[in-house]
């Protein structure tokens, strides 16, 4: 008999406790993000779409080798012993499984994974992304940075491979194309020197590019 009343009392007590908790939650701020209208903040280390710093990519193809689903493809032209022209760095997001294997193998740390994740599209073919095209601003800076050096390289190449020099010249106006140096250290110094020189005109661009 005592257990019976105790049971009822305990039931009522726990019920009231539960009701208090849910009533409190009723007036708490909801955690919902109204996604298409609001931006979803992703966590640190989120493995979203890839970013390519095309100016330090050396087209070593290690990322493509590391990829378990072979979704990375690089198209490049060798200009000379030191320089390479990456005209296309494609990742097929139909295949990509966002495993992150391509990131640690990169010797120059030029490929990273960003915070974007919106891939919905009406056409499957449009999921074959060109990272050089995506990294437009990086490439533009690269072109400006290396313009002088680039012109020198083209002049050197023109004697041996005239058709390649012509191609490179044609691509010079195209902001999507990156010219890559072999030596990241050298590139860094060049980059900083440039920023000092033309800080006024390029301030906005370098700000956006800065990691």
Residues in contact with other proteins by the rule CB under 8 A: 4, 8, 15, 18-19, 21-23, 25-32, 34
When the beta carbons of 37 and 122 are compared against other proteins, the nearer one is 37
Minimum gap (Å) between residue 45 Cβ and other proteins: 25
Question: Nearest-CA neighbor of 76 among 104, 100, 49, 110?
Answer: 110
When the beta carbons of 28 and 160 are compared against other proteins, the nearer one is 28
> Do the beta carbons of residue 55 and residue 145 sit within 8 Å?
yes
When the beta carbons of 21 and 40 are compared against other proteins, the nearer one is 21
Minimum gap (Å) between residue 119 Cβ and other proteins: 23
> Do the beta carbons of residue 61 and residue 186 sit within 8 Å?
no
Burial (CB count within 10 angstroms: exposed 0-12, middle 13-18, buried 19+), residue 39: exposed
> Do the beta carbons of residue 94 and residue 127 sit within 8 Å?
yes
Question: Nearest-CA neighbor of 136 among 58, 59, 208, 61?
Answer: 208
When the beta carbons of 5 and 122 are compared against other proteins, the nearer one is 5
Q: Are strands 178-181 and 111-113 parallel, antiparallel or unpaired?
A: unpaired
Q: How far apart are CA 177 and CA 141, in angstroms?
A: 11
Minimum gap (Å) between residue 12 Cβ and other proteins: 10
Minimum gap (Å) between residue 28 Cβ and other proteins: 6
When the beta carbons of 22 and 201 are compared against other proteins, the nearer one is 22
When the beta carbons of 34 and 41 are compared against other proteins, the nearer one is 34
Minimum gap (Å) between residue 42 Cβ and other proteins: 20
Residues contacting 77, CB < 8 A, separation 6+: 84, 85, 87, 164, 167, 168
């Amino acid at each position: 008999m005592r257990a019976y009343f105790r049971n009822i009392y305990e039931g009522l007590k726990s019920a009231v406790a539960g009701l208090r908790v849910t009533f409190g939650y009723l007036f708490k701020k909801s955690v919902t993000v109204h996604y298409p209208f609001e931006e979803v903040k992703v966590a640190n280390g989120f493995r979203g779409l890839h970013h390519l710093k095309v100016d330090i990519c050396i087209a070593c193809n290690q990322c493509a080798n590391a990829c378990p689903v072979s979704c990375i493809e690089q198209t490049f032209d060798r200009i000379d012993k030191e320089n390479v022209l990456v005209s296309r760095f494609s990742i097929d997001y139909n295949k990509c499984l966002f495993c992150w294997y391509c990131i640690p193998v990169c010797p120059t740390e030029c490929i990273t994974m960003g915070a974007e994740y919106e891939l919905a599209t009406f056409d499957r073919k449009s999921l074959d992304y060109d990272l050089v095209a995506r990294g437009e601003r990086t490439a533009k800076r690269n072109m400006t940075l290396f313009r002088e050096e680039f012109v020198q390289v083209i002049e050197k190449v023109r004697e041996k491979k005239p058709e390649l020099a012509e191609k490179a010249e044609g691509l010079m106006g195209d902001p999507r194309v990156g010219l890559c140096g072999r030596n990241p250290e050298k590139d860094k110094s060049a980059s900083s020197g440039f920023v000092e020189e033309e800080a006024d005109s390029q301030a906005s661009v370098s700000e956006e590019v800065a990691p």
